[in-house]
């Protein structure tokens, strides 16, 4: 239907580079893919006007929002798309009704447009900072310039280091503070490339392109005079001066796809709000840890070291409990000439068993060990055999016999250490008997 509208009424003239308000004529109203003559209160409708200040979603920049007024009604525009050169204003009728052919006044939301402009211009500065920090291989692979944030996808194969992220953020903010004018010129694609303008990968351009430049560089810059920091082909809306961006805060980077990284950022008031939130969280942590923010890193390291020491102490206490709380540990049996220790342990987990097995083997000198951890759910079983006996006795054999006696299956490992899971802790004594039988041959 959009091609039909374009054929009948022509394409929409975009006025939004120079103004945020304009007057026009409603040339079409569309609902559910069908052209209609009017739209009434509460309806969501697509409005086409012969000329508009509303930017239509394109090149990573989201569509504008705002109001369309006529003599008989008011509609709120929530998004703008473009097809066949026709700008499609997605809107909901808030008052009265709208009629095809009516004169209309169009008003773009200034606050939202300003936020989008700031994010789009910041994206240009970010692109150049990425190239200068990471290398000329960096090229745009996608972007989102919304009112609340910006997102930039670019060719790069590895995560960006923390120092590089800090350097990129610092560089962008330096050019924001420079408050240099943002200049726009119309020229041929060849002329644009000749002065170093960055083109969007895979984009097709017409006979004329819009070239946006910002930032002043003393040397090794772009442009005819070699003094321009950022120079890109772009059809979006931008700030008048880089200082209008306010500030930029990077939120970090992540992998978008193979060979493509994604970096996200905030600008202006959103950046300031983010920093305030981070500061509030930092102060909350400082209050909990009872240390000033400047000393938090050292205090947290000390707490982690203390935690590690306590965990080691707990592990040692568990081993002592498992060993019966004495130097000699649990009773030792001798079966078929092999010294054997078997014990059911409480308060330990399956992951504690290998260390306990090694300690008991060391105390035995020569022999075999079977430990069963009563975890309150599925019991864990581990067996160990000292190195001098593994040629004739395998820990795998012992652990499988014990696990099967407890209703478990499988079990594996090495001849000197093996683990398995049981099913019924009530069969622990039967498991010990099964292991003894395996030793007795």
- Give tens-digit pLDDT for 70-112: 999 999 999 999 999 999 999 999 999 999 999 999 999 999 9
- What is the spatial distance between Cα 438 and Cα 19, in angstroms, rounded to a whole number? 90
Best CA proximity match to 107, nearest among 40, 49, 46 = 49
- What is the spatial distance between Cα 342 and Cα 402, in angstroms, rounded to a whole number? 11
Strand partners, 419: 382, 412
- What is the spatial distance between Cα 390 and Cα 169, in angstroms, rounded to a whole number? 61
* pLDDT tens per residue across span 281-318: 999 999 999 999 999 999 999 999 999 999 988 877 87
Using the structure block, give the residue that is written with the tokens 């503070």.
Answer: 177
Those residues whose C-beta lies under 8 Å from the C-beta of residue 321, and which sit 6 or more positions away, are 345, 347, 348
pLDDT value of residue 329: 59
Q: How far, CA to CA in Å, does 438 sit from each of 314, 338, 345, 385? A: 34, 11, 21, 13
Domains, the chain, with CATH or none: 2-108 (2.40.30.130), 113-275 (3.30.980.10), 324-440 (3.10.310.40)
Rg for the chain (alpha carbons), in Å?
A: 36
Strand partners, 38: 99
Tokens in use for 232?
Answer: 């890109």
**H helices, E strands: number in the chain:** 9, 23
Q: Is the pLDDT confidence value at 325 over 60? A: no
* pLDDT tens per residue across span 53-72: 999 999 999 999 999 999 99
pLDDT value of residue 319: 67
pLDDT value of residue 324: 61
Those residues whose C-beta lies under 8 Å from the C-beta of residue 207, and which sit 6 or more positions away, are 188, 189
Best CA proximity match to 401, nearest among 441, 437, 362 = 437
Q: Classify the C-alpha dihedral 428-432-437-438 as positive or negative.
A: positive
* pLDDT tens per residue across span 398-435: 999 999 999 987 788 999 999 999 888 999 999 999 99
Share of the chain above pLDDT 90, in %: 81
Q: Is there a contact between 36 and 29 (Cβ–Cβ < 8 Å)?
A: yes
pLDDT value of residue 46: 98
- What is the spatial distance between Cα 376 and Cα 389, in angstroms, rounded to a whole number? 33
* pLDDT tens per residue across span 134-193: 999 999 999 999 999 999 999 999 999 999 999 999 999 999 999 999 999 999 999 999
Q: Is the pLDDT confidence value at 268 over 50? A: yes
Residue 225: pLDDT band with limits 50, 70, 90:
confident
The angle subtended at Cα 137 by Cα 260 and Cα 161, nearest 5°, is: 60
Q: Classify the C-alpha dihedral 31-37-43-46 as positive or negative.
A: positive
In this prediction the pTM is 0.76
Q: What is the DSSP string of 270-325?
A: HHHHHHHHHHHHHHHHHHHHTS-GGGHHHHHHHHHHHHHHHHHHHHHHHHHHHTTT
- DSSP state letter for 222: B
Q: How many CB atoms lie within 10 A of CB 282?
A: 12
Kindly report the backbone phi and psi dihedral angles of residue 177, in degrees, each rounded to the nearest multiple of 5, phi listed first.
-65, -25
pLDDT value of residue 201: 57
pLDDT value of residue 323: 62
Q: Is the pLDDT confidence value at 326 over 60? A: no
Q: Is the pLDDT confidence value at 352 over 70? A: yes
Q: Is the pLDDT confidence value at 327 over 50? A: no
Those residues whose C-beta lies under 8 Å from the C-beta of residue 155, and which sit 6 or more positions away, are 137, 138, 139, 141, 259, 260
Tokens in use for 20?
Answer: 């945020």
* pLDDT tens per residue across span 355-397: 889 988 998 999 999 999 987 778 999 999 999 999 999 999 9
């Amino acid at each position: 239907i959009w091609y039909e509208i374009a054929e009948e009424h022509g394409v929409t003239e975009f006025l939004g580079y120079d103004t945020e308000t304009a007057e026009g004529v409603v040339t079409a109203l569309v609902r559910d893919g069908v052209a209609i003559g009017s739209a009434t209160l509460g309806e969501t409708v697509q409005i086409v006007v012969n000329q508009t200040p509303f930017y239509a979603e394109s090149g990573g920049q989201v569509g504008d929002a705002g109001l369309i007024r006529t003599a008989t009604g008011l509609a709120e525009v929530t998004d703008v798309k473009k097809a066949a050169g026709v700008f499609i204003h997605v809107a909901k009728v808030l008052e009265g009704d709208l009629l095809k052919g009516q004169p209309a006044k169009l008003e773009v939301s200034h606050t939202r447009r300003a936020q989008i402009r700031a994010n789009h211009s910041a994206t240009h500065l970010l692109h150049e900072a990425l190239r200068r920090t990471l290398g000329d291989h960096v090229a745009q692979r996608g972007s989102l310039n919304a009112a609340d944030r910006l997102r930039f996808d670019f060719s790069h194969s590895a995560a960006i280091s923390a120092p590089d992220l800090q350097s990129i953020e610092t560089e962008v903010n330096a050019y924001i503070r420079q408050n240099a004018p943002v200049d726009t010129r119309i020229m041929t694609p060849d002329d644009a490339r000749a002065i170093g303008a960055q083109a969007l990968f895979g984009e097709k351009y017409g006979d004329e392109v819009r070239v946006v430049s910002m930032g002043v560089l003393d040397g090794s810059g772009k442009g005819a005079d070699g003094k321009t920091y950022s120079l890109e082909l772009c059809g979006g809306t931008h700030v008048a001066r880089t200082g209008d961006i306010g500030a930029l805060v990077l939120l970090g980077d992540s992998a978008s796809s193979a060979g493509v990284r994604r970096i996200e950022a905030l600008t202006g008031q959103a950046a300031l709000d983010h920093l305030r939130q981070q500061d509030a969280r930092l102060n909350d942590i400082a209050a909990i840890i009872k240390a000033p923010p400047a000393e938090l890193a050292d205090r947290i390291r000390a707490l982690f070291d203390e935690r590690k020491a306590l965990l080691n102490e707990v592990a040692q206490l568990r081993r002592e409990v498992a060993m019966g709380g004495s130097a000699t540990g649990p009773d030792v049996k001798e079966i078929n000439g092999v010294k054997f220790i078997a014990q059911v342990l409480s308060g330990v987990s399956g992951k504690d068993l290998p260390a306990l097995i090694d300690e008991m083997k060391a105390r035995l000198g020569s022999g075999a060990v079977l430990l069963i951890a009563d975890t309150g759910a599925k019991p864990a079983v581990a067996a160990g055999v000292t190195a001098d006996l593994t040629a004739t006795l395998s820990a795998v054999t012992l652990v499988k016999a014990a696990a099967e006696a407890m209703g478990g299956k499988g079990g594996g490992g090495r001849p000197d250490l093996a683990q398995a899971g049981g099913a019924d802790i009530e069969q622990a004594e039967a498991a010990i008997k099964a292991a003894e039988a395996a030793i007795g041959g």
